[in-house]
Amino acid sequence: MTSECENPELVIAWLDYMNSSDEMTIQASFGMIADDENEYNLHYNDDGALEYWTGSPEGMTFGEYLHKWTLATTAYVIHDVSYMAQNNIFLGNPNNMAKSAECRTFDAYAAEETLPSMKFTDEETETLTSIQSGIKDQILQMTARWIAGESDIDADWDSYISSLNGIGLEEYVSIWQTAYDHYKDMQ
């Protein structure tokens, strides 16, 4: 809210109302709940959870129908939508839920450890940025040449690696390795 807001108390009251309950948060972000008289884009299923209608009864796209009945194009949501899904309060967009379930198929292959957030000096950051730009350019250029058949990946691999090293790949890896070693020492 800016200092030019004419009715700050109304803005605060609106925010409080939009986040006053799970049901209100869902409607603010995802559309109105259907009742006996109106087929809005949300409804209660047989288990008592809110879910989307799977179609758009007025012949609109799902997005058009969603925005027709959504109170805000994007609401500041305090309530946790994933918590609501786990507790059968709101099941979310069926397309997103199906995609999420499909993505869980790959959980067994996920890395057990991910690269943590690293700390670099200003000088290291400047060096990394400079080297990374050249590395990315070389990778994109050679990838395009390999795809287009203008270069033989097997025959040109050693020269490709040499070109990356000439750009500063070894220094780039060394800076990252030093930062990672420092991170591990702090654990």
Radius of gyration, alpha carbons of the chain: 26
**Per-residue pLDDT tens over the stretch 159-183:** 999 999 999 999 999 999 999 999 8
Residue 28: Cβ within 10 Å count = 23
Alpha carbon distance 29, 143 (integer Å): 42
Check if the beta carbon of residue 120 is closer than 8 Å to that of residue 179.
Answer: yes
pLDDT at residue 31, rounded to an integer: 76
Decide: 22 and 84 in contact? Cβ < 8 Å: yes
Q: What confidence score (pLDDT) does residue 82 get?
A: 64
Alpha helices by DSSP H, 7-121 = 8-18, 22-30, 62-69, 81-86, 94-103
User: Could you tell me which residues come within 8 angstroms of residue 151 by beta carbon, excluding any fewer than 6 positions away?
Assistant: 142, 145
Q: Kindly state the helix (H) or strand (E) to which residue 147 belongs, with its residue range.
A: helix 122-148
Q: What is the pLDDT of residue 34?
A: 83
Look at residue 163 and give its three-state secondary structure: helix
Provide the pLDDT for residue 109: 82
Whole-number pLDDT of residue 47: 83
| Distance of alpha carbon 37 from alpha carbon 6, whole angstroms | 37
Backbone angles phi, psi at 43, to 5 degrees: -150, 160
Phi and psi (nearest 5°) for 52?
-75, 150
Pairing of strands 50-52, 42-44: antiparallel
Collect the ranges in the chain with pLDDT lower than 50: none
Which pTM does this prediction carry? Answer: 0.44
